[in-house]
A and B are shown apart, each in its own frame.
Chain A
């Protein structure tokens, strides 16, 4: 079985984003960029399924600027077998991304597509669900456990009340949550090896997908800032403050 994993190049999770003074967006010039953390989990899960002998090939896909090649090389260094870059300098919305991924899935015929549940830049949390809808496949979102048995997969999902398990027919779409696994670091030899793994370059036009955005960003602003308050010196003082706020035990 082939697995498709989608990865996105985003601002590194340790960097505090700064809003541009002109309100047009977030300043990404000279900012450290990395693979979206949830997508790293997706790559790791695919590799584990291959190591278990359930999967035979892992194809990593990214849609983004030329530099998204680095993100794909990271996926290859972790253990993906080959990569596809759909290159565009436009910021594509989840709907357009899902349409492109659906085309890739139709071409590649994977048994499962694994993606992060959300990207930490636009925080949309949509692409996986949209992809599943477009393909008519079932979806296992916010996964904390993935178990394949025959032509079905049991996905345990992190939901507001705790955990829920669903059984999906394959092919299926799975989106990852934090507890699914801990992604490995690529070793130096694997990073070297990844440089010679195949990476195909495409464009959205190759797939005939209309990627015109549906949403216009009117402006981007900083949220209201909280002011740091006071520090108290003892539990008694803290209780005094809490009582003044109307807290009664």
Chain B
């Protein structure tokens, strides 16, 4: 089977989520990559070095500059004439583009796979991860998004793929990029952080959220996450949200502070290796999944923890 993996890139670098998708693809067969963007020579060269990669198809054109699904999807769908499976990381980029590719190919997508059980069988989470479905696809071609935390990352070095330019399919002219407000942070990205400290509504305000959590995160070199309640309340920006519809994380250690543990939140972090919970309510559901729990007032505990670590 020949697979085509969408390379997610930013600022000239291949994003880590791509590497997990490459691993998933390698379980199906030969791994080819698609790099779409503007001025992406560097990305293409980096992508060719990913272990186990064959061809790297590169479409370098202004139409792909901001990864607009309207323009990238027809390109990918066209290349699928010579491939059997299209895989994208289950990031906001992959989730935006892959279903559009699937519909163009008249294929039912298999979202957020957790494992490859065979060439047409996969497992995927449903109901916020409260159930795992094994599904078998009868489509001749597969379109798949890959949950990054469920697969090892392929080595970013050691491969020797061949770069092949592909013709651009043009700008559909129905959408354009206006701008972005991206969170700037020196901290590790949530989906690849080894340690995450995450805060809930109990922090009470944006000031308290940051003045208490940031020093702790700095000390642990941790990423900072938040519950939906904290994001809805405006304590943290949307890209901090961990949960069913936010980011899915699985760090070595997840420290949930002032988070009660709604099923939608648990869906995003319960595959963490170790879960630590700090909450003033000893009956909070978060303690049912926590390996280590401490009941108490976060306004006292967090500063003490930060100081003593």
Interface residues of A (CB under 8 A from B): 11, 13, 16-17, 19, 25-26, 38, 93-95, 98, 117-118, 120-134, 136-139, 141-142, 144, 154, 157-169, 177-179, 213-223, 226, 228-239, 241-242, 245, 247, 249
Contact = CB atoms under 8 A, between A and B. Distances in A.
A124 B109 contact: yes
Given A141-B95, A214-B108, A218-B134, A247 B239 contact: no
Contacts of A217: 133-135
B215 to A, nearest CB: 11
A223 B181 contact: no
A214 B107 contact: yes
Interface of B: 10, 66, 68-70, 73, 91-93, 95-104, 106-112, 121, 125-139, 172-183, 191, 195, 219-220, 228, 231-232, 237-239, 244-245, 247, 252-253, 263-264, 270, 274-276, 278, 282, 287-295, 301, 304-305, 308-309
Nearest to B255: A242
Contacts of A226: 270, 275, 288-289, 291
Contacts of A234: 294
A220 B132 contact: yes
B96 A162 contact: no
Contacts of A117: 245
Contact of B181 (A95, A162, A231): A162
Contacts of A159: 92-93, 180, 239
Nearest to A124: B111
Q: Which 9 A-B pairs have the closest CB atoms?
A: A229-B291, A129-B99, A214-B108, A133-B103, A130-B103, A249-B309, A126-B99, A138-B175, A165-B178
B308 A236 contact: yes
A119 B30 CA distance: 33
Q: Choose among A123, A230, A245 the residue with the greatest number of B CB atoms under 10 Å from its CB.
A: A123
B293 A221 contact: no
B264 A247 contact: no
B65 to A, nearest CB: 12
Q: Choose among B107, B195, B247, B309 the residue with the greatest number of A CB atoms under 10 Å from its CB.
A: B309
12 contacts: A26-B131, A126-B102, A129-B95, A130-B102, A138-B172, A138-B174, A216-B138, A220-B131, A230-B292, A235-B308, A241-B276, A247-B220
Contacts of B129: 223
A178 B126 contact: no
Interface of A is mostly: mixed
Given A168-B175, A216-B138, A231 B220 contact: no
A168 B174 contact: yes
A13 B177 CA distance: 34
A15 B137 CA distance: 29
B174 A19 contact: no
Contact of B126 (A123, A141, A164, A165): A123
Nearest to A128: B99
B255 to A, nearest CB: 9
A160 B239 contact: yes
B142 to A, nearest CB: 10
A118 B237 contact: no
B239 A235 contact: no
A127 to B, nearest CB: 8
A139 B293 contact: no
A178 B178 CA distance: 21
Contacts of B232: 178-179
B244 A229 contact: no
Contacts of A214: 107-108, 137-139
Nearest to A20: B131
A117 B95 CA distance: 10
Given A139-B96, A144-B238, A17 B130 contact: yes
Nearest to A126: B99
B294 to A, nearest CB: 5
Contact of B125 (A123, A131, A178, A235): A123
A216 B135 CA distance: 5
B299 to A, nearest CB: 13
B244 A125 contact: no
A220 B133 contact: yes
Contacts of B288: 226, 228
Contacts of A16: 130, 263
Contact of A133 (B73, B238, B305): B73
Nearest to A229: B291
B127 A94 contact: no
A167 B127 CA distance: 33
Given A126-B99, A214-B107, A245-B274, A17 B287 contact: no
Contact of B99 (A94, A239, A247): A94
Nearest to B304: A235
A236 B304 CA distance: 9
Given A131-B103, A161-B180, 17 more contacts: A132-B70, A132-B100, A133-B101, A159-B92, A160-B92, A163-B238, A213-B108, A214-B108, A217-B133, A221-B131, A223-B130, A223-B131, A223-B132, A226-B289, A228-B289, A229-B292, A245-B252
A230 B263 CA distance: 21
